[in-house]
Structures are given as structure tokens and as C-alpha cells.
Structure 1
Amino acid sequence: MAEITRWPFCEPPEARLTALQRPPVWRGVLIASLMVLAIIGFWPSPVDAPIQGQLASRLKFLQNHGFPLWVNYSLVEESANVVLFIPLGVTVGLAFPDKRWWQNAAFGTMVSGCI
């Protein structure tokens, strides 16, 4: 008699999770991203120092050609800081899916305060 094979949809749902859906994988990604944030945050000089002059001159060019004056270097720097933490927030949510949203937000606030 032939052996009956199991179809993939007969497996329990946790067996069908891909590696990217497993919190331990995301916890490893979280640790790696925290290390990158620590390197960026505690670097002895600003990490954008090599391109700061180029960025300022390009922003001045854009302002001379119609961009509003409030689009300046400080806006770009502050926006970059916000964008830097978006992947952290997503990673924390995937690494700790059983936590409430405010617990994950508190973690992000704590990390941001440390830097």
C-alpha cells in the first residue's frame, strides 16, 4: 500500500511560518540594528561630515531655484534622524509581536533617549 503524503495545508500554522515571520529572527535583526545605531550615534564626529558641504551647496542651489527657505540643512538632518528610527520601530514590532504597541513605542523612546 502506498504511503499517504501530507499536504502543506495540513500542517499546523506555526510550521508554515517563513523565517521572516519568526520573532527570534527579528530579534537578531534588532540587535544588529541597535549596534548600527550605537555606532552612528556615538561616532566621534558627525557621520555626514564628509558630505556636509556638498549637501549644503545642493540645498542652496535648490533654494535659489524655487525651493522654500525652510528646506535647509537642519530640516534634512532632523528628517534623517526620524527616518533612521523607522526601521527600528518596524523591527521592534516584528521582534515582539506579543507586546502592546505602547510597550514597543516605549522601547523606541528609550533607545532614542540613549542616543
Structure 2
Amino acid sequence: MFRRHPIVSVVTLAYLGTLAWLTLTPSNAGVRTFSLLQRVARSVQSNVGTEFLTFGRVEFAANVALFVPMGVFVLLLLGRRLWWVGVFAGLLASCWIELAQGVWLSDRVSDPRDLLSNGLGTVVGVLLALLVTWPAAHRLRQQSRARAARQSEA
């Protein structure tokens, strides 16, 4: 994988490191500071017409967005035929993160809704990568069929 896609591999490793840092480091529960998500939710809620965007909804959307790259990177590294591995990898990573937060990180909260939002983000990432790579895959498939047809005629 690294030899075939060195840049995607390095970016994937950077993403996984950032994901681990965001989800598996202590959250400074004793300090009365508001997280970025809380500030965003309060700012959005203060506007007329966006009161429905509660912290829970903003957090759900952020968790979806956090796992979109997981689906994209796994599909790009392993190929379109193994799209399901991308979904499985995202769900497995999400389960592991929630387990770690529930068992080893006392200042973090393990939430089953995170499994749903992370899984949804991974599926969105896989679908996005399938959509973006479809033209190239279609072109390669047509070239392969044309080559096979020429060889069978000869």
C-alpha cells in the first residue's frame, strides 16, 4: 500500500494520529472551559432560525464529519472492490474508541450514538470516494474490455 500510494498513506497516518489525539486524550474535565463545539453550538443557537441546532446535533454532525475521511482513505488505499472494508474499518475504529473511552479514560464519556454517527460518516466517506473515483474506474473498465476484444479477434 505504501509503495503504491505513498502520499495517501502518509495523509492517512496523519489523519489516524489526529483522530486518536482528538478522541483518546484527556479532556481536562476539571477545567471550566468550553470546547470548540460548545462555542459553535451556542453561537449558532443565538441566531434566529437556527435555534434547532443544539449541542447534541452539532456534536453528531461533527462526529459524522470526523469519520468521513476514514471511508475515503480506506477506499483509496484498498480500491473500489473492497469498499466494504472501509465501512468495517470505520465501525471497528469507532467501537475501539468508545471502548477505550468507557474503560480507560475516566474523564471521557462513551456514547452509543457516537457509533451511529461515526459509522454514518464512514459510509458517507466511502460513497463519496466511490462517486469521485467512478469516472476513472469506468474508463479503465472500458479500456480493458476493448483490449480484451482486440486480443480475442487476433
Q: What TM-score comes out, normalization by structure 2 length?
A: 0.50
Greater relative CO (CA pairs within 8 A, separation 6+) = 1
Structure 1: gaps spanning 5 or more residues: 1-21
Amino acid at match of 1:107: A
Tell me if structure 2 keeps the 8 A contact 1:23–1:97.
no
Q: Which residue of the partner structure matches residue 60 of structure 1?
A: 45
Q: Which residue of the partner structure matches residue 84 of structure 1?
A: 66
Identity between Structure 1 and Structure 2 (%): 31
Aligned residues: 90
Q: How far, CA to CA, are the matches of 1:32 and 1:51 in structure 2?
A: 21
Tell me if structure 1 keeps the 8 A contact 2:8–2:77.
yes
Q: How far, CA to CA, are the matches of 2:84 and 2:38 in structure 1?
A: 39
RMSD: 2.4
Q: How far, CA to CA, are the matches of 1:83 and 1:52 in structure 2?
A: 13
1:109: Cα distance to partner? 1.1
Structure 2 SS opposite 1:94: helix
Greater helix share, structure number: 2
Q: How far, CA to CA, are the matches of 2:80 and 2:51 in structure 1?
A: 44
Q: How far, CA to CA, are the matches of 1:52 and 1:30 in structure 2?
A: 24
Structure 2 SS opposite 1:45: coil
Q: What TM-score comes out, normalization by structure 1 length?
A: 0.64
Tell me if structure 1 keeps the 8 A contact 2:9–2:77.
yes
Classify 1:52/1:105 alpha carbon distance in 2 versus 1 (closer, same or farther; 3 Å): closer
